[in-house]
Amino acid sequence: MLSGKNVILTGSAGGIGKKTLKALAENGANIWACARKPTKEFEIYIDELKKKYNVQIVPVYFDFQDEQQIKEAVKFIRSQKKTVDGLVNNAGMTYNALFQMTSIEKMREVFEINFFGQFIFTQYVVKLMMRQKSGSIINIGSSAALDGNSGRSIYGASKAAILCITKSLSEELSSYNIRVNAIAPGITDTNMVEASMTEEVILETINNTKLKRIGKPDEIANAILFYVSDFSSYVTGQILRVDGGLG
């Protein structure tokens, strides 16, 4: 499905990221696996995928709150002298708190990681795609960006910014044969969700979901796979909700 394609995946070490990394590898893609910092567990996981699927996976470590690190990461990717066929902007942080209880410092942190860092990173990667006149960019938003959930105003706003950028970039980059789409996951079974949401809130959200269950990281990864592949060659500027029918 992705044989011969080279894909940049941010947030590779997280719940959705690891499953996406696996989905890309088992479908033949070579991957720049971006994460904030190295861990033994992540390095072992990469080695296992490389051996099992006979693909190249190169870890790239940088912090989205550090613009210099972002520049160095793209410089390294560019030095590999390969086409960049896909960019999956999956990295991010979650945050739940009432608007009145949220400090400006926390607002800035959420936007630095969820929006500004990804904005800068994408700007640099887009230059590589424009030269080759091809590419697919997939931004990971959230159902919170569309639904305006209580306690998720700041997180939702940061993801709404990502969705807006998706629409605008799909217009700006269409003449370069670069497609830009987004995925808006609902509640998904990851450590990040467990750490940021109480069991009561999780159950309430599940009850508001038509399929009456929490999403699996594999299900988000499969949607990402569709957008990276040529199966979505005539799709751009779209936001795909993968939320089990939330709302």
d(CA 85, CA 151): 37
Q: Is residue 1 part of a domain?
A: no
* Residue 195 confidence (pLDDT): 62
Q: 45, 95, 155, 227: which one is catalytic?
A: 155
Which residues lie below 8 Å from residue 235, measured CB to CB, with a gap of 6+? 179, 181, 227
Output the CA–CA distances (angstroms, integers) from residue 104 to 52, 82, 101, 107, 111, in the order listed.
46, 41, 10, 5, 11
**Secondary structure (3-state) at 65:** coil
Neighbour count for residue 78 (Cβ, 10 Å): 14
Whole-number pLDDT of residue 196: 62
Domain harbouring 126, CATH code? 3.40.50.720
Residue corresponding to tokens 């089990």: 244
Residue 204 clears pLDDT 90, i.e. is over it: no
Rounded Cα distance between 113 and 104, Å, is: 14
| pLDDT tens for each residue of 132-162 | 999 999 999 999 899 877 778 999 999 999 9
Greatest Cα pair distance in the chain: 51
Domain membership flag for residue 79: yes
Number of independent structural domains in the chain: 1
Asked whether residue 74 is domain-assigned, the answer is yes
Q: What is the pLDDT of residue 190?
A: 81
Domain assignment of residue 47, yes or no: yes
- Structural domain includes residue 247: no
In sequence order, the 6+-apart residues with CB closer than 8 A to the CB of 192 are 14, 15, 93, 94
| Domain contains 217 | yes
Q: Tell me if 48 is assigned to some domain.
A: yes
Residue 45 resides in a domain: yes
Determine the Cα–Cα distance for residues 122 and 137; give it in Å rounded to an integer. 9
The token duo for 55 is: 């693909």
The percentage of residues in the chain with a pLDDT greater than 90, rounded to a whole number, is 81
Catalytic, 155? Answer: yes
pLDDT value, residue 194? 66
Structural domain for 233, as ranges: 6-242
Residue 183 has pLDDT above 90, yes or no: yes
